Chain A
Amino acid sequence: MKHKAVLRVSSKLLMPPIMLFALYVQFHGDFGPGGGFQAGVIFASAFILYALLFGVNQARRVAPAGVIRTTLALGVLLYAGTGVVGLLLGGNYLNYSVLAHDQVHGQHLGILIIEFGVGMTVASAMITIFFIFAGRGRDERGE
């Protein structure tokens, strides 16, 4: 893919809007269709586009495996941890009403946090799986 100038330039232009759209879907999930799952997938697709054009090795440098694995676990931890915080504040597990003074505010906050956790985990999982699948074929061809 060294010489596909048009593809490289146009996808470079596309990548920021893809990520921005992912964040919009992530944080606008309360008001329109969308949420953590969809946002995570869209966010991951930006990285996958990068990896397709510039090679998996280059993309690995942008998103190191250690960081991706950390966010992979951190997303689940954020979700489950929100539940535990609710437990500590005197509510049931995963009851967000106790997170703020107002019940509705608490629910808003809880949903925002856990959706962010979902998005983190989904994005990291998709990136991990793609990098491993794509990177493995490269190894075996002896590059």
Chain B
Amino acid sequence: MAVIGLAYIFLRNLFAVVMLSGMFSLTAAVLYVVMDAVDVAFTEAAVGAGIATVLGLATLGLIGVVNEKPSKRSFLGPFLVVLVTGAVLINATLDMPDFGDPNAPIHHHVAPRYIEDSGREIGVPNIVTSILASYRGYDTLGEVTVIFTAACGVLVLLGRTRRRKPHGQETGDRETASGDGEAAK
């Protein structure tokens, strides 16, 4: 994964970068399987490696394959920011309990209750499903609403069918410009 991440930075061909992001997701999915999180791995493989790659390719088809020129600006400032943020994050992980440590706080909060009672209360063999859909129903409703909102946003920004008037080309272009501006915000 680190190799793919480094390749991200140095590659200038956007097509290769999209393909690499798919590979990165697939590697992450394999990692999740190794850590016994099958549901997460499934989602990562389907969404990250599948749909995201296809959408990235569709976007490339929209803007054309561009070989970005190396920028002339100094990379020292951004590099420092990344370095400091990375150091803080790594410092924070030092306090985390070991992987699989039974005394970790996360295994003492609600997890034992879910594991012990969900069979009796929900009766669904897959505890992940019963937590997602029943115990954490509000969260999942929120997630669905987020996806719904995303699709609505795309529909509003890009989905309008442009009528071809004699001078409609310019209005269409102006709409695109304003739409991109909103997306950037």
Question: Is the pairing of A and B real?
Answer: yes
**Chain A residues within 8 Å of chain B by Cβ, number:** 50
Kindly identify which residue among A44, A104, A114, A125 contacts B123, using a CB–CB cutoff of 8 Å: A104
Contacts of A139 in B (CB 8 A): 162
CB-nearest residue of chain B to A120: B144
Q: Does B35 contact A (CB under 8 A)?
A: no
Contacts of B145 in A (CB 8 A): 76
Q: Does B121 contact A (CB under 8 A)?
A: yes
Main secondary structure of the interface of A (DSSP, over half): helix
Kindly identify which residue among B50, B128, B150 contacts A41, using a CB–CB cutoff of 8 Å: B50
Contact B54 A48 (CB under 8 A): yes
Inter-chain CA distance A136–B63, complex, in Å, is 10
Contact B126 A32 (CB under 8 A): yes
Contact A137 B54 (CB under 8 A): no
Band of interface residues on B: 35 or more
Contacts of A128 in B (CB 8 A): 151, 154-155, 159
Known: A31-B126, A136-B158. A103 touches B151 (CB 8 A): no
Q: Does A132 contact B (CB under 8 A)?
A: yes
Known: A32-B126, A125-B150, A130-B58. A94 touches B141 (CB 8 A): yes
Known: A76-B148, A125-B150. A30 touches B129 (CB 8 A): yes
Q: Does A23 contact B (CB under 8 A)?
A: no
CB-nearest residue of chain A to B138: A94
Q: Does B178 contact A (CB under 8 A)?
A: no
Contacts of B81 in A (CB 8 A): none
Query: Scoring A residues 81 to 97 as 1 if CB is less than 8 Å from chain B, else 0, what string do you get?
Result: 00100000000001010
Contact A111 B133 (CB under 8 A): yes
Contact B126 A72 (CB under 8 A): no
CB-nearest residue of chain A to B37: A33
Inter-chain CA distance A38–B51, complex, in Å, is 11
Contacts of A34 in B (CB 8 A): 39, 42
Contact A137 B62 (CB under 8 A): yes
Kindly identify which residue among B42, B43, B54, B124 contacts A30, using a CB–CB cutoff of 8 Å: B124
CB-nearest residue of chain B to A56: B58
Kindly identify which residue among B51, B125, B158 contacts A45, using a CB–CB cutoff of 8 Å: B51
CB-nearest residue of chain B to A34: B42
For window 136-166 of B, CB contacts with A under 8 Å fall at 137-138, 140-141, 143-145, 147-148, 150-151, 154-155, 158-159, 162
Q: Does B84 contact A (CB under 8 A)?
A: no
For window 15-39 of A, CB contacts with B under 8 Å fall at 25, 29-35, 37-38
Q: What are 11 A-B contacts defined by CB distance under 8 Å?
A: A33-B39, A45-B50, A48-B51, A94-B138, A107-B121, A121-B147, A121-B148, A125-B151, A126-B51, A128-B151, A137-B62
Q: Which residues does B use to contact A, with CB under 8 Å? A: 38-39, 41-43, 46-47, 50-51, 54-55, 58-59, 61-62, 121-126, 128-130, 132-134, 137-138, 140-141, 143-145, 147-148, 150-151, 154-155, 158-159, 162
Q: Which 6 A-B pairs have the closest CB atoms?
A: A125-B151, A104-B123, A94-B137, A133-B58, A33-B38, A111-B133
